[in-house]
Chain A
């Protein structure tokens, strides 16, 4: 924990100007570093910018980029843009939710998988698109999703 506090301090030091417009870049830096924004980080950022914690939290929850629970070992990103939706992303989402028993923005209890639904990855020509830790899978079917998740689970057990 002490380690985390030090890392947050280090990020705060990179933003010496204590203006409100440093708030979003600060939150982004914390999110990049830890993969999520902890309670401690929200409090520290608030103190640094002389803003109430509620304001910081209120802003952070407004935007899609910030998450408040740690990411899983495998971070699954599913695109549910219009093109992917037409290509069956809704069915894929149902399947993933069923397989992992988590919803958008959640992490499995064992910390193995987390799920994020994005509104458009920008590869509409290859829909539907899913990525796991940055590896992309395009034009996939429900069956293939099952295989992919299974494969990652097996890899983790090894």
Chain B
């Protein structure tokens, strides 16, 4: 079906009062507020697929085919509740849409049977999406009233999980692309820069630099060619907000890119995306194609004389490529190694031309700012950090997923009220903010308002917004050790403080989480010296590293030494891991009642620490034990245990 371009452009830019009844009807159809056939939407974002949504999809198809029911089956992104996936939402004509959690393939028939008989099934109900003109279901909570949604302020993620990410028509019928159309028709380049500066939008990837100022710097640099790059690398483990935004609402990102490219006077934009993000790539490629077809990308867009090409480039995967100069090097076909600044990319970036690099969340904020104005944006969040921030929350939590809150919301609200705390009756221990090179936040800082300034005051960084929640079963030192191994592996190796510093830190941390039994006298001394030097090493790395990776690498060490020193001390002086996570520090015992004296553990023990007589219970000489746990693995009688 060919798209009705004129109608879509009208829907996108005018308020609904200017539409005639026919147009209103079409708009309602496209926005799915008025449907003629039942609609089933399956979350097919990454987390949905991992949870089995592809099978759910097939089950819905065969359900409809078996019973000759005509229904519309479409994909959506995630509404943010990733631990509840596969999330499925169902809307039958005239009624509101209901969202259900954990609909695996086996649950599909009974779910749809019930709904088609106008009955709400027991269990698995998340809530209903209340909309005008639709009859609500009884005894089903409204999505907006649930604690998970009520305390959030979703402006960037508003449509994620609600709309079909493959349908430009649905996006435009909801007012999408109106901001871009207004931008190219009513504003000059510098007016857009001013507007965004006035809104106070700051880069959401961690640095928090003013987006408008960055644009102005690039706009003022004279050049025959300028570039806009969307940084969709997001290599932080545990951060999945950019990916979810691209999977849930790719058109919003592309609209943001178009506005940003226009503002800096560029006609060439690139999306640098991780090659592993296959589902996001599929959606963005489709979005680019649709936009080209309708003439919102290409030459002379809507007769404004403005040209824009957006292309997608797949990043071959390196943590450091999230840093803008490394990203540009990678785009140029080189190793993704950062270079020293200045010159900043805004004066000399991709191919030596002025380049602005913005991340996905930053760009996705733009359509809203243009549509509703900078004052509206300033009214959300704090004075110096306006707007919202999306946090991806994972780890030991009751619910894991994406939470979008105004800047200045406290950790307590985010973790305890919205997410529901550690869950399963466990106690919270700490939060880790901002990925491997982020900071550990102790519980006494839970009341801290989350904004760039407030965090900086406490020596913490926001990073990309990944929050890892730890409960009493997690070992702080072991987690930091894991981060340091990761950072060492991901260091590009260009500068020495980062390359060697992360390695040495990983070595020191490993030695803390190991038993001393196999160490000689001098090694013990070396280990001790290492621990003493951990803090000064961190200082040097912070001061002398070339890019953010090395400068931020000591963060987890510094923050945990500050707030969780007692845990380090327990590891070092008592050789004990309080949460029993460090396998090499476990103290192993043999249960005399269960041991049959089969000799297998004694034969396998690499330290000859298990002694005894065959067919009688064996025991472990603790002084010799290196804590490798091989005895535990080989014991057929479950007689080996640890404390």
**Are B46 and A121 in contact, CB atoms less than 8 angstroms apart?**
yes
**Are A127 and B394 in contact, CB atoms less than 8 angstroms apart?**
yes
Chain A contacts of B317 at CB under 8 A? Answer: 63-65
**Which residue of A has the minimal Cβ distance to B276?**
A118
**Are B316 and A20 in contact, CB atoms less than 8 angstroms apart?**
no
B330 CB-CB contact with A under 8 Å = yes
Complexed CA–CA distance, A138 and B46 (Å): 12
**Are B335 and A59 in contact, CB atoms less than 8 angstroms apart?**
yes
**Are A138 and B50 in contact, CB atoms less than 8 angstroms apart?**
yes
**Are B334 and A83 in contact, CB atoms less than 8 angstroms apart?**
no
**Are A64 and B318 in contact, CB atoms less than 8 angstroms apart?**
yes
Number of interchain pairs (Cβ within 8 Å): 130
Complexed CA–CA distance, A85 and B396 (Å): 11
Chain A contacts of B38 at CB under 8 A? Answer: none
Chain A contacts of B319 at CB under 8 A? Answer: 119
**Which residue of A has the minimal Cβ distance to B331?**
A21
**Are A20 and B46 in contact, CB atoms less than 8 angstroms apart?**
no
**Which residue of B has the minimal Cβ distance to A66?**
B316
Contact of A24 among B46, B52, B316 (CB under 8 A): B316
Contact of A82 among B238, B243, B316 (CB under 8 A): B238
Chain A contacts of B482 at CB under 8 A? Answer: 82, 85, 90
**Which residue of B has the minimal Cβ distance to A21?**
B333
**Are B394 and A125 in contact, CB atoms less than 8 angstroms apart?**
yes
**Are B275 and A65 in contact, CB atoms less than 8 angstroms apart?**
yes
**Are A82 and B49 in contact, CB atoms less than 8 angstroms apart?**
no
**Are B401 and A125 in contact, CB atoms less than 8 angstroms apart?**
yes
Residue among B237, B240, B401 with max Cβ neighbours from chain A (10 Å): B237
**Are A28 and B240 in contact, CB atoms less than 8 angstroms apart?**
no
Contact of A126 among B50, B331, B479 (CB under 8 A): B50
Chain B contacts of A121 at CB under 8 A? Answer: 46, 50, 276
**Are B240 and A120 in contact, CB atoms less than 8 angstroms apart?**
yes
Contact of B82 among A23, A24, A124, A136 (CB under 8 A): A124
A42 CB-CB contact with B under 8 Å = no
Chain A contacts of B483 at CB under 8 A? Answer: 82
**Are A28 and B335 in contact, CB atoms less than 8 angstroms apart?**
no
Complexed CA–CA distance, A129 and B276 (Å): 15
**Are A63 and B316 in contact, CB atoms less than 8 angstroms apart?**
yes
**Which residue of B has the minimal Cβ distance to A80?**
B237
Distance (whole angstroms) from the CB of A114 to the closest CB of chain B = 16
Contact of B47 among A59, A63, A81, A123 (CB under 8 A): A123
A22 CB-CB contact with B under 8 Å = yes
Complexed CA–CA distance, A11 and B485 (Å): 37
Chain B contacts of A22 at CB under 8 A? Answer: 333
**Are B236 and A120 in contact, CB atoms less than 8 angstroms apart?**
yes
Interface residues of B in 80-122 (CB under 8 A from A): 81-85
**Are A19 and B333 in contact, CB atoms less than 8 angstroms apart?**
yes
Complexed CA–CA distance, A25 and B391 (Å): 32
**Are A83 and B237 in contact, CB atoms less than 8 angstroms apart?**
yes
Complexed CA–CA distance, A63 and B333 (Å): 12
25 A/B residue pairs, CB under 8 Å, sorted by A: A19-B333, A20-B332, A24-B316, A28-B314, A59-B334, A63-B316, A63-B336, A64-B316, A66-B316, A81-B237, A82-B394, A82-B482, A86-B395, A86-B479, A120-B240, A121-B276, A122-B243, A123-B240, A124-B47, A124-B394, A125-B81, A125-B82, A125-B84, A136-B52, A138-B50
Using a CB–CB cutoff of 8 Å, the interface residues on chain A facing chain B are 19-25, 27-28, 58-59, 62-66, 80-83, 85-86, 90, 118-127, 129, 131, 136, 138
